[in-house]
Amino acid sequence: MTTNQETIFTYGAPMLKFGPGSADEIGFDLSQYGVKRALVVTDRGISATGSPQRIADQMAQYGIEAHVFDGVHVEPTDTSLQEAVDYARATGPWDGIVAVGGGSSIDTAKAINLMTTNPGELIDYINAPVGGGKAPSQPLHPLVAVPTTTGTGSESTTICVLDVLALKVKTGISHARLRPTLAVVDPQLTVTQPREVTAATGMDILCHALESYTAKPYTTFEHKHAEQRVPYCGANPVADMWSMRALELLARSFRRAVHHGDDINARMDMAMAATFAGMGFGNAGVHIPHANAYPIAGRVRDFHPRGYPQAEPMVPHGMSVALTAPEAFRFTFTAQPERHLAVARMLAPEKQSAAEPSEALPNALIQLMKDIGIPNGIGEVGYNKLDISDLVEGTMKQQRLLATAPLPVNEEDIARIFEHSIELW
């Protein structure tokens, strides 16, 4: 061991309440923090199910005044986050925030919580080099995250993801204080999730767990001083445990949750996998597939996914992550062959006779994507070879993620991954 080699890893997670009916106890949970006035943050699609209003209404018995804001934009932008923050400031003050929905609602709630408790503008806190990378100077309010989709793991993480419209790039805000105080995971809220949403968000779970498990080990980083530590510290024994358990649950229930959405046991497995994967990647980090996903989503032109209600073009986050994953894990194989093969055996135990070991995991991912209806590469969502330079430029801005890749990665490597991901099968 060299003297400047890292010897320390960190781990953080919110308090967790899991199980059918757990969303009915949020009023009690918030009362334990002394909350008197709570803003429930959701989108219009989730609002139409009635769940956010039911959650708001049951808070009254604990003396909490709750209001529902349903203006969340699916796949948040800097503009939509600013609109949400403006609403919260105009109708506040609030001393508690409840996010009900997918990652978009939870990330919007994180931004509201940050910007109603701390000075400055949103751009000040967005990760460098896109924004100022400023850390919060003031404590945030209690935030309860209630996921209604099974994928993002945002209920466990310190990350708020957004599109910066003027730059056509997806980036984020990352700080430990953004992590929700409490994650309330009620699988009953996910049963109405459309098949296509289950497929896309499930691929996000899969890539969270797989990228975390194959991330650069924490011991290979240079030693940091205490004030330099960040949430993403590299693969470590605790994150590995959560990620592998998430992959086991996915191998058992992902296909069934997509094709038999009323199977509550499959939904429970997916909800638990999303939470476990969040506990893994929220500490170890993600790498190449997520870095590639940001420009894929940020530069979309005219792709309209089935199962998503909004009119404007979009590539759902989990879908955008999945589209280059087979080629990305083909590239990273030599860094940790045994980990890649272990996951391949888990996802496709019956198909481990590939002549070339480096093909086992890409083949398992491609078969899964075929089975659940994920598009056949970035070409199917509107990109071609002429777009690769712009996509590479967007990926290389995600240095916070690429730093966690198990192998050094440059522009030529990323360009090759995109080129081989135009069509996957």
Fill in the amino acid letter for 3: T
Of the pLDDT bands very low, low, confident and very high (cuts 50, 70, 90), residue 1 is very low
pLDDT tens by residue, 8-20: 998 888 999 999 9
Residue 350 predicted with pLDDT over 90? no
pLDDT tens by residue, 297-341: 989 999 999 988 777 899 999 999 999 999 999 999 999 999 999
- Specify the pLDDT at position 31: 97
Q: pTM for this one?
A: 0.88
Residue 169 predicted with pLDDT over 90? no
Q: Which whole number is the average pLDDT over 362-389?
A: 97
Torsion sign, CA atoms 251, 252, 253, 258: positive
Q: Which whole number is the average pLDDT over 13-40?
A: 95
Q: Which of 34-38, 151-155, 378-382, 404-408 has the lowest average pLDDT?
A: 151-155
Q: Are strands 169-174 and 159-164 parallel, antiparallel or unpaired?
A: antiparallel
Torsion sign, CA atoms 381, 383, 389, 390: negative
Residue 405 predicted with pLDDT over 80? yes
Residue 241 predicted with pLDDT over 60? yes
Express as a percent the part of the chain with pLDDT over 90.
80
Q: Which whole number is the average pLDDT over 59-84?
A: 95
Q: Which whole number is the average pLDDT over 35-58?
A: 95
Q: For the CA atoms of 209, 125, 418, 220, what is the dihedral angle to 10 degrees? A: -50
Residue 363 predicted with pLDDT over 80? yes
H helices then E strands: how many in the chain?
17, 8
- Domains of the chain (ranges; CATH) run 22-185 (3.40.50.1970), 195-419 (1.20.1090.10)
Q: Mean pLDDT of all residues in the chain?
A: 93
